[in-house]
């Protein structure tokens, strides 16, 4: 697990980009209910590292991050694109320990 930042630095319903070992880009999101999720930061439709800048929300009870480029929504729990279930992004395990957010390998 890699330490990303203090939990309190993550704003509710926002994302941040972080680097894991091996130059792996992840998007870390804190939802309004205080849950923390991590997905690949690479949007599979545009191939740009932008998912961390997406809108965090809910689609039918599913927590999602919506890409800022093509507006595709990704399930924060599974990485599956809600708009095109044949497409997904990697999901990374997240824990909060002693107030710090840690992200592991998929």
Q: Is the pLDDT of residue 106 over 90?
A: no
Whole-angstrom distance, CA of residue 94 vs CA of residue 29: 10
Q: Give the per-residue pLDDT at 59.
A: 94
Q: Is the pLDDT of residue 36 over 90?
A: yes
Look over the chain and give the mean of its residue pLDDT values, rounded to a whole number: 97
Place of tokens 């279930």: 85
SS3 of residue 82 by DSSP:
coil
57-79 pLDDT, tens digit per residue, is: 999 999 999 999 999 999 999 99
pLDDT (average), residues 4-20? 97
Query: The domain at 2-103 falls in which architecture?
Result: 3-layer Sandwich (2.102)
**Residue 79: how many CB atoms within 10 A of its CB?**
20
14-25 pLDDT, tens digit per residue, is: 999 999 999 999
pTM of the model: 0.95
Domain ranges of the chain: 2-103
């Amino acid at each position: 697990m890699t330490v990303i930042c203090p939990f309190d630095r993550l704003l509710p319903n926002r994302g941040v980009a972080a680097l894991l070992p091996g130059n792996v880009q992840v998007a870390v999101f804190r939802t309004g209910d205080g849950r923390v999720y991590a997905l690949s930061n690479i949007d599979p439709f545009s191939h740009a590292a932008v998912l961390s800048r997406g809108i965090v929300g809910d689609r039918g009870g599913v927590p999602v991050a919506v890409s800022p480029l093509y507006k595709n929504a990704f399930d924060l729990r599974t990485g599956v694109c809600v708009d095109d279930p044949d497409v997904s992004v990697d999901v990374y395990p997240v824990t909060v320990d002693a107030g710090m957010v840690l992200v592991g390998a998929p």
